């Protein structure tokens, strides 16, 4: 998710989503040639064959406890869950292009860009800049040039593979391992307060974080106030889907990064197997209809804010998602397409692992970053 590009994805305008593929899932890869269509009609809903009225996408049928098979599927998905308050993850993955991998192999510098050459500053940078202008002390530190270069990542590659809002990141995967003493900042749109936790999810006092910014490795950024209704259906410039990401912003806190390794290949296969199990489970125990926008809002305001009930597959799957966007809806069609895509990935033909030697500048020399360059696209994902 380092250098975000725009790809073009056709979105369905039908009123329900059933056994037919959603959003033209026959072309789930990164190469699209059609023009971008507006977002789906606000009538779009998640639907599969009818189930009992008591069952929702986040709970099992009210008449019975989850069967052993559901518990095993949930167990397979559990490693990918990220919810408050336990967001610290030392192993992250970021999709990128082959050109960037080749540059990384040559130059051995992981964090190289402070903005997209085409799309300008990310929404994260725009939000951080606004908070810095209100004299938020931590935001002001994070808006210095020491934290300007970044890559955008997530603990589970599947959860960002198909992008969001038409963005595509590339077909190559980088595994990033942060140092054991790394700190994580929590930045949520819905909250005025920024928090800091260590790698064990223990709170770090703000005074301590400000005194030792060199230990901040990444920001857990959550856009949890999604646009809905008219603005979303018209795909205007104010549109903003719900999403989450880790912003790796301090290379001196990176223990290592790897490309093309057997460990990365094994991770993709494990995730494909877990999603395949979930898809087969949905064939037997389909979820109840849910309006797509309601699904998005529910993830942002409810699912991502607390640990899921690990006995129920839908809760666990939704708690692992980074993007509340249509390619990740809990449907067999979307899941099968994602499984196929993961299994089609080919590892970089010259695997390597590198240990960075970057050093953090002295706090006294931290220089504020210039104002973010904001580009106004026709429709927004993470810019």
Q: What is the pLDDT of residues 355-378, one digit of tens each?
A: 999 999 987 778 999 888 888 654
At residue 81, the 3 state secondary structure works out as coil
Which one, of 340, 133, 327, lies nearest residue 243 by Cα? 327
- Predicted local distance difference test score (pLDDT) of residue 312: 87
Which one, of 237, 260, 279, lies nearest residue 96 by Cα? 260
pLDDT category, 21, cuts 50, 70, 90?
very low
Average pLDDT, the chain: 82
Which one, of 21, 15, 49, lies nearest residue 286 by Cα? 49
- Please answer whether residues 308 and 319 qualify as being in contact, where contact means their C-beta atoms are separated by less than 8 angstroms: yes
Question: What pLDDT, in 10s, does the model give residues 143-160?
Answer: 999 999 999 999 999 999
Helices 262-284 and 332-344, axial angle in degrees (round to 10): 160
pLDDT category, 60, cuts 50, 70, 90?
very low
Question: What pLDDT, in 10s, does the model give residues 96-137?
Answer: 999 999 999 999 999 999 888 777 889 999 999 999 999 999
Mean pLDDT of 263-291: 94
Decide if pLDDT at 198 tops 50. yes
Distance between CA atoms of 206 and 44, rounded to whole angstroms? 43
Whole-angstrom CA distances from 133 to 1, 67, 126, 357 are 27, 52, 11, 32
- Predicted local distance difference test score (pLDDT) of residue 281: 94
**The tokens 């360059």 sit on which residue?**
373
């Amino acid at each position: 998710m380092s250098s975000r590009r725009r790809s073009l994805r056709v979105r369905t305008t039908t009123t329900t989503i059933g056994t037919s593929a959603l959003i033209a899932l026959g072309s789930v890869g990164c190469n699209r040639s059609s023009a971008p269509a507006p977002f789906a009609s606000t009538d779009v809903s998640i639907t599969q064959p009818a189930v009992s009225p008591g069952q929702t996408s986040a709970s099992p049928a009210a008449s019975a406890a989850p069967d052993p098979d559901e518990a095993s599927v949930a167990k397979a998905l559990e490693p990918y869950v990220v919810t408050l308050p336990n967001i610290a993850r030392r192993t992250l993955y970021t999709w990128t292009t082959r050109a960037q991998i080749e540059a990384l192999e040559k130059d051995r510098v992981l964090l190289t860009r402070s903005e997209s050459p085409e799309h300008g500053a990310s929404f994260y940078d725009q939000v951080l800049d606004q908070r810095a202008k209100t004299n938020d002390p931590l935001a002001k530190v994070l808006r210095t040039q020491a934290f300007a270069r970044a890559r955008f990542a997530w603990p589970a590659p599947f959860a960002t593979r198909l992008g969001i809002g038409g963005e595509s990141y590339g077909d190559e995967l980088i595994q990033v391992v942060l140092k054991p003493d790394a700190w994580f900042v929590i930045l949520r749109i819905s909250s005025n307060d920024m928090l800091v936790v260590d790698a064990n999810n223990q709170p770090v006092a703000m005074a301590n974080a400000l005194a030792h910014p060199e230990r901040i490795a990444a920001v857990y950024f959550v856009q949890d106030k999604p646009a809905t209704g008219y603005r979303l259906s018209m795909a205007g410039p104010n549109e903003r889907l719900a999403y989450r990401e880790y912003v790796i912003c301090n290379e001196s806190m990176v223990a290592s990064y790897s490309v093309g390794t057997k460990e990365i290949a094994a991770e993709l296969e494990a995730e494909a197997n877990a999603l395949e199990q979930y898809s087969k489970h949905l064939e037997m125990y389909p979820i109840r209809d849910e309006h797509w926008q309601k699904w998005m809002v529910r993830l942002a305001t409810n699912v991502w804010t607390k640990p899921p009930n690990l006995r129920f597959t839908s809760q666990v799957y939704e708690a692992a998602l980074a993007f509340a966007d249509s390619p990740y809806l809990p449907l067999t069609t979307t899941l099968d397409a994602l499984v196929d895509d993961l299994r089609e990935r080919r590892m970089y033909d010259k695997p390597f692992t590198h240990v960075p030697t970057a050093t953090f500048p002295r706090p006294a020399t931290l220089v504020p970053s210039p104002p973010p360059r904001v580009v106004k696209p026709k429709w927004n994902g993470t810019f």
